[in-house]
Amino acid sequence: MAEDPSSLPRRPRRLRRNAPTRALVQETHVRVEDLIYPLFVHELDTAEPVESMPGVQRHTVAGLVDECREAAAAGIRAVALFPVTPAAKKDAQGTEALNPDCLVLRAVREVKAACPDLIVITDVALDPYTTTGHDGILNAAGTDVDNDGTVDILAQMAVLQASAGVDWVAPSDMMDGRVAAIRTALDAGNHTDVSILSYSIKFASAFYGPFRDAVGSQSAAGEVYLDKRSYQLNPANPREAMIEAALDVDEGADLLMVKPAGAYLDIICRLRDSTDLPVAAYQVSGEYAQLHAASKNGWLDYTAARDESLLAIKRAGADLILTYFAKEIALNQ
């Protein structure tokens, strides 16, 4: 027997019955202003596609400037730049990172000259510059990354990047104490206005492969899989992740990041509940690539899956999302 309608005073479907009503009561929104656009730049004379990341290119410096202009015109407020260092300029110490005229610093100067109101973010880590592909220099025995020696270099990198005109530096290395060292170095260099977007919670994830292909850190190492588990977080350890974030807050980080995003929505939620600082999440290359692959095979609706993936990250608590979808989202809103 059907239930008496009068016994159902609450009918939640009333607020889902048509598109205008659903739009009015929608709780979570992904805005263009929430998105940060990661971009790759190389020293060649022509752009080059990243085969594992459909639609993504390694830009020339001039092409990067054009891409930033287009992104800014579409409403993107921030870009994150990642250099592709030629093999001939890589060494065990990552010395090219401290070249005042290295590729990424030239790119920063050109982008800021063309787009002064665009927030430019640069990565602070050694993996684009080392022959090992690691985020830092190795110890004397070559068995692990030398934490304190790496931190000294990272602090110098951050000052050079600030001097070139970046707005935010983003240490992605996961070394102990690097946020405090970078903040101290920036302040001593009269760069008190430069913010630190810390990769506070960066997991040793299987989803980074296409990015390492894009910047050449995987090929530099000559390994199928780079083992970074001695410094990146164990995916099984949420409490340890919160400790890392708390340390970065104490050391002076201005914004905190979780990387990857999609497989770590619980971590984003925990971090959001534990801090009043802005929380960013990086929808990484593997997340982007797998969605493209499934869509290409007809297994997913590309646009619907893309939008749902971003909405989930925002709903989990991220204020900002680094995503390779940023420009296409902006152009279609």
Q: Is 259 a catalytic residue?
A: yes
- Domains of the chain by range and CATH? 30-331 (3.20.20.70)
Residue among 202, 228, 314, 327 flagged as catalytic: 202
What's the confidence (pLDDT) of residue 216? 83
Alpha-helical segments (H) within 143-300: 147-164, 178-188, 209-215, 217-221, 238-251, 265-274, 285-296
What's the confidence (pLDDT) of residue 217? 77
What's the confidence (pLDDT) of residue 107? 98
CB of 201 closer than 8 Å to CB of 248: no
Residue 135 CA, chain-centre distance (Å), reads 15
Q: Which two tokens stand for residue 134?
A: 């690691």
162, amino acid identity: A
Q: Tell me which residues of the chain have a pLDDT lower than 50.
A: 224-225
Please name which of 257, 235, 259, 261 lies closest in space to residue 313, comparing C-alpha atoms.
Answer: 261
Q: Which two tokens stand for residue 328?
A: 């296409």
Residue among 90, 112, 228, 259 flagged as catalytic: 259
Question: How far is the C-alpha of 91 from the C-alpha of 129, rounded, in Å?
Answer: 7
What's the confidence (pLDDT) of residue 224? 43
Please name which of 130, 135, 144 lies closest in space to residue 93, comparing C-alpha atoms.
Answer: 130
What's the confidence (pLDDT) of residue 1? 54
Give first-to-last CA distance, the chain, whole Å: 48
Positive or negative torsion for Cα 212, 49, 301, 324: positive
Q: Is 327 a catalytic residue?
A: no
Q: pTM value?
A: 0.95
Judge residue 74's burial from the number of C-beta atoms within 10 Å of its C-beta, 0-12 exposed, 13-18 middle, 19 or more buried.
Answer: middle
Question: How far is the C-alpha of 78 from the C-alpha of 114, rounded, in Å?
Answer: 14
10, amino acid identity: R
Residue 95 CA, chain-centre distance (Å), reads 23
CB of 151 closer than 8 Å to CB of 142: no
